[in-house]
A and B are shown apart, each in its own frame.
Chain A
Amino acid sequence: MSEVAVEMITVVIDGFEVTVPKGTLVIRAAEQLGIQIPRFCDHPLLDPVGACRQCLVDIEINGRAFPKPQASCTIPVETGMIVKTQLTSPVAEKAQRGVMELLLVNHPLDCPVCDKGGECPLQNQAMSTGQGSSRFEGVKRTFEKPINISSQVLLDRERCVLCARCTRFSEQIASDPFITLNERGALQQVGIYENKPFESYFSGNTVQICPVGALTGAAYRFRARPFDLVSTPSACEHCASGCDMRTDVRRGKTLRRLAGEDASVNEEWNCDKGRWAFKYITAVDRLKVPMIRDEAGELVEASWPEALAVAAQGLKATSAAVLVGGRATHEDAYGYSKFARLALGTNDIDFRARVTSDEEREFIAAHVVNSSTTYRDIDKADQVLLVGFEPEEESPIVFLRINKQFRKRALKVISIGSKESVGVEKLKGEFVKVAPGQEAAAISAQKLTDKSVILVGERASESAGVFTAVAALAQSSGAKLAWIPRRAGERGALQAGAIGNLLPGGRPVTDSVARQEIADAWSVNSLPSQIGRSTSEIIASVNSDQIGALLVGGVDPLDLENNKEALAALDKAFVVSLEIAPSAVTSRADVVLPVAAVTEKSGSFLNWEGRARSFDTAVDDSLNRSDLRILSMIAEEMGTSLNLGTVTAAAKEIASIKNWQGEPLKMKTASAPAQRQLNSNEALITSWRRLLDLGTLQEGEENLAGTARQTVAVISAKRAQALGVANGDLLKVSTAQGSVTLPALIENIHDDAIWAPRNSRGSQLLTDLNAVHAEVVTVVRA
């Protein structure tokens, strides 16, 4: 698709010519020349509002001067325009000075105790544009302070300069218009609706773009001065969106994380989980020293050499497999992948610590690895089809990008599922309602074009035939296809070959040429050629004595289906656990090796696009080491050299291995199951994880948890009537494994289905029910 040529316009600003695309605002054309016009309400990603009046400049067009200074943030350039900013126009200079003085009339001089002090646009521009002292001698407006507009955002109204950035962000970017300006005159203030807190998944962005200290985050308030912080560019570890981030550390402790700027990925935004969920890093129970199980069966502290020796011995003694979770970086995953093949001599490795299917493994090997659908494709799409994927909950920046295109040009969104989500409602998406498990037929019925984009989530593995149907639809329509897993590390792990059917670069383990390429790269003679076991097969094999040892990194067994079997396998096998904090794995492990959390190491994630999101060590005095380093040490101990001493070495080796150019693995087709016949008290469960839930990386951040959506069981009006329940009445949902009791919510859901959050307080479906999608559950009034 060729891009439409943009008309360019040349204007003169302060005597200098600048040529910019038509539609560019004067304030931004000036930026091109390095001329900084002071501003507050202006934000390049929000619609102009012209409220603060700080950016007034003199403008004339073809010799006709505007009678008064104009807000440069609201006026697009025009041919023949001559702009005089504060640098060349005394009128503009006085106007700006005047506005600055007025802005400070009601602004408190509490900079010494304000979180924003030191990084405050008002403070900075008062220095650059204001006068040394105020002529205002009167009484300032005061408010009760601060007020909680949610459990994590605090508002000091007297500091607010009413620029409306926060309210515009919430409405225009997040489509969560939960805050608004109310009252009038100097008493105008940001407010929430009565009893409706600012519970948006994106609320933290308003704190970041607030040009004063009016909005602060509860977790960071009064914690630090900006000039005491050391900032390191980083990447978000919470999902596959791939947000650019900044981590602010003081004296070795992470105090704050902010959204970084990357126009092609997260623009300037991130979600509240990425921003605020980092307490797990500084949790008091972080693992710090290696542990081994003694003769009495107790875990005891051990030296590194001792622990490594025990690990190596145990892994060498029997057939071993590798389970690596989605938090691994690309480099770490590569380490696990290489470790499995060289040290353990097996392809039994799987990065998917969740509900999976063989169909998914074949699908990602055939259609995802080495593919490159991007955010840009969403920007250009004629329609976006969502399958097994709720962008707002599972990859929030993907949601923001779709929303941007929806707001800009009414991008058509189609979602195939059993329950309509808030996110899809906000996108005014077409919701194709099917019974859980019956998605495949609805996918096949879609009419897409080669300009469409299909976004398929990891939950598609929970319905047989869905990946098959998606692949066929992409094939027949020419639509772009992207697989968006929930976790940050999965795409990188896929590229690194941390899965049983692929070697690094998407090379099929069954292809001898592919194997030889990697064997050459790794300086070994040969590599195992049999397709490795998947996560569930590995567990089953432990329980049937075919596998005796497990190397486990970053896996929570409670994320797996049949997790009783998973726990039994962990109990049974010799387990080496690489972990950051105590877990159900470490408590069952024979060797526990502490590893670095994301801020303590360098590396990169590949986001869903396959784009590298690299980051540096933010906390450099940490003693914790990356998984990669530890794997190398175990391998050495086992007599195998991985040659992956550092992340840099691993990154270099990864870069030297090009993507597979040969035939990708072919996918076997799977077909959808027949529709289930249900008794009147039965339903088919469907679920997804909410963005804010009981995920382990959110532990310890109570303010964030306070904005999580309520735990409910969603049923259709028809079922509600049949059960005689109203909203809020309790429903008991049960399987042979157990039950959950949740308040009912009547929404747009398939009559056969019941929805509950997968891992929220009071509703942990994998452990409580061992059923997450398309399984029969019993639903009765509690």
Chain B
Amino acid sequence: MTKLVPVLSAHWDEKDSFTLEAYKRHGGYKASEKALAMDPDAVIQLVKDSGLRGRGGAGFPTGMKWGFIPQGDNKDHYLVVNADESEPGTCKDTPLLMANPHVLIEGCIIACHAIRAKHAFIYIRGEVTHVVRRVNQAIADAYAAGILGNGVDVVLHIGAGAYICGEETALLDSLEGFRGQPRLRPPFPAIAGLYARPTVVNNVESISSVPAIVLNGAEWYQSMGTEKSKGTTLYSLSGHVANPGQFEAPLGITLREILELSGGVRKGHKLKFWTPGGSSTPLFTDEHLDVPLDYEGVAAAGSMLGTKALQIFDETTCVVRAVLRWTEFYKHESCGKCTPCREGTWWLVQILRDLEAGKGTEADLAKLLDLCDNIMGRSFCALGDGATSPITSSIKYFRDEYIAHLTNGGCPFDPVASTLFVGAGA
């Protein structure tokens, strides 16, 4: 059975884990020292060889992304770190940055060296004020220690609370001071990104994984995970579980294993459905407990690994209600640029509200699915696609429950039963 392998999270349990001192105590900033002595192309090759793939959701090979940056073009290059973690369920970058901001800073130094950039920008979600403070302190400490400012500068930019700014080109627009809306591609950020300069946009966890790879080598990283999904990653367990939190394990671990290691579904209940990677990845059910949680395994089972945000829902949860809540989120967060997402989410919410209230007929389910078909793959960016995932997958697995709402004339579930405070006398 796969075991938990803490690499990123190795020292999170130490009280001062976020300090420069603690980071250095465990070999911090040794990797950047080593990398800076290497040829930049060798660093890119090392990351390519390690098999590290983007941890922001799409799983694009990180080294390959770095390799796209044109060299010798006499232009400034930029590294942009996407810390705009806003997907419902996704909660890995926040604890990572709280517990160990320096690993990201070190990762930035290495990545900047590799792509010949002098500036890194960390675009952080504005709501997480505590993380902003912590990362700011870490950056200040790194400058004071002469770690930053000698060839690499890091700027922390605080977002203003739009989910769309997690989309890399919308993030770049927002970072430039415009409204965050996705850009037309091409040109891709590697050619014309921030301020129209070659830019790498990476997730926090991707960049934070780099120092360990540099220190321990590509082979070490390769030795973990599955054939095409290498290394360890953070699985964020939340919802109806005994012990929610971050579980770092090699890619390919199953939910059954994680639940066993963590104490399982909350006591007295059983798993009903779950998301493998946040709310925009199609739902899984208890049939999927043994799906290997790597990029290929999850895709083969009809979903996406996404951000490995394992939201667990037990049998007390009304799936229609859960899906409606997510859909309301997408409607609220749709940036408005393209028709399918903007108008589609507006409409989806109204249909789902009716369904939850027991209004409508089975024909509305067909309409809902057809509407999803008209949004999925028709939108400008992945936001619209993501909005349809919970709907189509929930109808696939729980069609009867939707119909039960209609025959019952409303939701057959007691919403209180699904709360965590049920039975607590609340």
Interface residues of A (CB under 8 A from B): 48-54, 56, 67-69, 74, 94-95, 98-99, 101-103, 105-106, 135-136, 138-139, 141, 161-162, 180-188
With contact pairs A161-B339, A185-B332 given, residues A105 and B346 touching in the complex (Cβ less than 8 Å): yes
Of all chain B residues, the one with the shortest Cβ separation from A189 is B336
Contact of A53 among B336, B346, B351, B378 (CB under 8 A): B378
**Nearest-Cβ distance from residue B159 to partner chain A, whole angstroms:** 14
**Nearest-Cβ distance from residue A67 to partner chain B, whole angstroms:** 7
* CB-CB nearest 7 A-B residue pairs: A98-B374, A188-B336, A138-B350, A68-B377, A102-B343, A185-B334, A186-B346
Confirm or deny: B272 has a beta carbon within 8 angstroms of a beta carbon on chain A. Answer: no
Q: Are B334 and A184 in contact (CB under 8 A)?
A: yes
A residues less than 8 Å from B380 (CB atoms): 50-51, 53
Mark B302-338 against chain A: 1 for CB-CB distance below 8 A, else 0.
0000000000000000000000000000011111111
With contact pairs A138-B350, A139-B350 given, residues A102 and B339 touching in the complex (Cβ less than 8 Å): yes
Mark B345-361 against chain A: 1 for CB-CB distance below 8 A, else 0.
11100110000000000
Distance A185 CA – B378 CA, assembled complex (angstroms): 16
**Nearest-Cβ distance from residue B165 to partner chain A, whole angstroms:** 11
Distance A167 CA – B377 CA, assembled complex (angstroms): 26
Distance A138 CA – B343 CA, assembled complex (angstroms): 12
B residues less than 8 Å from A105 (CB atoms): 343, 346-347
Q: Are B347 and A181 in contact (CB under 8 A)?
A: no
Q: Are A101 and B332 in contact (CB under 8 A)?
A: no
B residues less than 8 Å from A181 (CB atoms): 179, 336
Q: Are A99 and B340 in contact (CB under 8 A)?
A: yes
Considering only CB atoms and an 8 Å cut-off, how many residues of chain B contact the other chain? 32
Interface residues of B (CB under 8 A from A): 162, 164, 179, 184, 331-340, 342-347, 350-351, 367, 370-371, 373-375, 377-380
Distance A681 CA – B155 CA, assembled complex (angstroms): 52
A residues less than 8 Å from B371 (CB atoms): 98
Q: Are B373 and A98 in contact (CB under 8 A)?
A: yes
Contact of A50 among B184, B334, B343 (CB under 8 A): B184
Contact of B343 among A48, A49, A56, A106 (CB under 8 A): A106
Of all chain A residues, the one with the shortest Cβ separation from B334 is A185
With most chain B CB atoms within 10 A of its CB, the pick from A68, A138, A185 is: A185
Contact of B184 among A49, A135, A138 (CB under 8 A): A49
Q: Are A101 and B374 in contact (CB under 8 A)?
A: yes
**Nearest-Cβ distance from residue B385 to partner chain A, whole angstroms:** 9
Distance A135 CA – B351 CA, assembled complex (angstroms): 11
Q: Are B377 and A99 in contact (CB under 8 A)?
A: no
Of all chain A residues, the one with the shortest Cβ separation from B335 is A184
Of all chain B residues, the one with the shortest Cβ separation from A183 is B336
19 contacts between A and B (CB under 8 A): A48-B184, A51-B338, A51-B339, A52-B339, A68-B377, A74-B184, A94-B374, A98-B371, A98-B373, A98-B375, A102-B344, A102-B347, A138-B350, A138-B351, A141-B346, A184-B333, A185-B335, A186-B334, A188-B337
Q: Are A98 and B378 in contact (CB under 8 A)?
A: yes
Q: Are A138 and B347 in contact (CB under 8 A)?
A: yes
A residues less than 8 Å from B332 (CB atoms): 185
With most chain B CB atoms within 10 A of its CB, the pick from A67, A98, A139 is: A98
Distance A98 CA – B184 CA, assembled complex (angstroms): 22
A residues less than 8 Å from B367 (CB atoms): 135
B residues less than 8 Å from A183 (CB atoms): 336
Q: Are A136 and B336 in contact (CB under 8 A)?
A: no
Q: Are B345 and A185 in contact (CB under 8 A)?
A: yes
Q: Are B342 and A54 in contact (CB under 8 A)?
A: no
Distance A141 CA – B342 CA, assembled complex (angstroms): 12
Distance A52 CA – B337 CA, assembled complex (angstroms): 8
**Nearest-Cβ distance from residue A290 to partner chain B, whole angstroms:** 60
**Nearest-Cβ distance from residue A109 to partner chain B, whole angstroms:** 15
A residues less than 8 Å from B377 (CB atoms): 67-69
Distance A135 CA – B338 CA, assembled complex (angstroms): 20
Distance A94 CA – B331 CA, assembled complex (angstroms): 23
B residues less than 8 Å from A56 (CB atoms): 378
A residues less than 8 Å from B370 (CB atoms): 98
A residues less than 8 Å from B184 (CB atoms): 48-50, 74
Q: Are A184 and B162 in contact (CB under 8 A)?
A: yes
A residues less than 8 Å from B345 (CB atoms): 185-186
Contact of A99 among B337, B350, B378 (CB under 8 A): B378
Q: Are A69 and B334 in contact (CB under 8 A)?
A: no
A residues less than 8 Å from B340 (CB atoms): 53, 98-99, 102
Distance A629 CA – B369 CA, assembled complex (angstroms): 71
A residues less than 8 Å from B347 (CB atoms): 102, 105, 136, 138
Q: Are B336 and A187 in contact (CB under 8 A)?
A: yes
Of all chain B residues, the one with the shortest Cβ separation from A99 is B339
Distance A136 CA – B340 CA, assembled complex (angstroms): 14
Q: A98-B370, A99-B339 are in contact. List 8 more A-B contacts (CB 8 A).
A: A95-B378, A138-B351, A141-B346, A162-B337, A162-B339, A184-B335, A186-B346, A188-B335
Q: Are B179 and A95 in contact (CB under 8 A)?
A: no
Of all chain A residues, the one with the shortest Cβ separation from B178 is A180
Distance A648 CA – B340 CA, assembled complex (angstroms): 55
A residues less than 8 Å from B162 (CB atoms): 184
Q: Are B336 and A69 in contact (CB under 8 A)?
A: no
B residues less than 8 Å from A99 (CB atoms): 339-340, 374, 378
Of all chain B residues, the one with the shortest Cβ separation from A71 is B380
**Nearest-Cβ distance from residue B367 to partner chain A, whole angstroms:** 6
Of all chain A residues, the one with the shortest Cβ separation from B380 is A50
Of all chain A residues, the one with the shortest Cβ separation from B350 is A138
**Nearest-Cβ distance from residue A259 to partner chain B, whole angstroms:** 27
Distance A620 CA – B335 CA, assembled complex (angstroms): 51
A residues less than 8 Å from B335 (CB atoms): 184-185, 188
With contact pairs A51-B380, A98-B378 given, residues A185 and B333 touching in the complex (Cβ less than 8 Å): yes
Contact of A185 among B336, B374, B379 (CB under 8 A): B336
With contact pairs A102-B344, A105-B347, A136-B347 given, residues A185 and B331 touching in the complex (Cβ less than 8 Å): yes
**Nearest-Cβ distance from residue A634 to partner chain B, whole angstroms:** 63
With contact pairs A98-B373, A136-B347 given, residues A182 and B338 touching in the complex (Cβ less than 8 Å): no
B residues less than 8 Å from A138 (CB atoms): 347, 350-351
**Nearest-Cβ distance from residue A89 to partner chain B, whole angstroms:** 14
Distance A56 CA – B377 CA, assembled complex (angstroms): 10
Distance A141 CA – B331 CA, assembled complex (angstroms): 13
Distance A186 CA – B340 CA, assembled complex (angstroms): 11
Q: Are A188 and B378 in contact (CB under 8 A)?
A: no
Distance A98 CA – B334 CA, assembled complex (angstroms): 18
B residues less than 8 Å from A50 (CB atoms): 184, 338, 380
Q: Are A162 and B346 in contact (CB under 8 A)?
A: no
Distance A138 CA – B334 CA, assembled complex (angstroms): 19
A residues less than 8 Å from B164 (CB atoms): 184
Of all chain A residues, the one with the shortest Cβ separation from B162 is A184
